[in-house]
């Protein structure tokens, strides 16, 4: 049974919070920080976020030191679960995205939040995938 308070964010949601600090994704992070839901991540997801934010194209938004502080701050407001085992069959058109579906399922998350069309079109029993805006609206924060 899915826990209605457990939510998984795709890496792109965290990145959008950094690149648009007043945007929808930033507001979702503030809601998580306020305890409105439990944000669930795994070590692989945190490593991916760190790797993405270390890319030179993000220096216009934050320094390397600020990127590391951001990831550290995320660690303080999330529930870290084990990485899910790899699946045998493809789930999405992008095999790298399958991990997030498996993480959401393994963590009994109520929702996987992503802006990636490869994920937002996934249809699996018990899995709800929403865009950041749709999830913010579902929280009642429009």
Q: What is the pLDDT of residues 20-65, one digit of tens each?
A: 989 999 999 999 999 999 999 999 999 999 999 999 999 999 999 9
Calculate mean pLDDT across residues 61-81: 95
Calculate mean pLDDT across residues 101-124: 91
Is 1 a residue whose pLDDT tops 60?
no
Q: Are 81 and 107 in contact (CB under 8 A)?
A: yes
pTM: 0.92
**pLDDT-based confidence at 71, cuts 50/70/90?**
very high
**Annotation: CATH topology of 3-139:** Rossmann fold (3.40.50)
pLDDT at res. 79: 94
Task: Please list the residues that pair with 112 across neighbouring strands.
Answer: 8, 129
């Amino acid at each position: 049974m899915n826990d209605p308070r457990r939510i998984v964010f795709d890496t792109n949601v965290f990145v959008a919070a950094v690149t648009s600090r007043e945007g929808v994704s930033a507001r979702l992070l503030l809601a998580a920080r306020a305890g409105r839901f439990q944000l669930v991540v795994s070590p692989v997801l945190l490593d991916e976020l760190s790797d993405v934010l270390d890319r030179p194209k993000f220096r216009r938004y934050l320094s390397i030191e600020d990127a590391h502080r951001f990831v550290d701050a995320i660690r303080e407001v999330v529930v870290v679960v084990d990485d899910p085992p790899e699946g045998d069959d493809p789930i999405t058109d992008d095999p790298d995205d399958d991990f997030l579906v498996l993480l959401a399922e393994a963590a009994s998350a109520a929702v996987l939040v992503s802006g990636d069309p490869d994920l937002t079109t996934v249809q699996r029993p018990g899995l709800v995938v929403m865009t950041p805006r749709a999830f913010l609206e579902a929280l009642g924060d429009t």
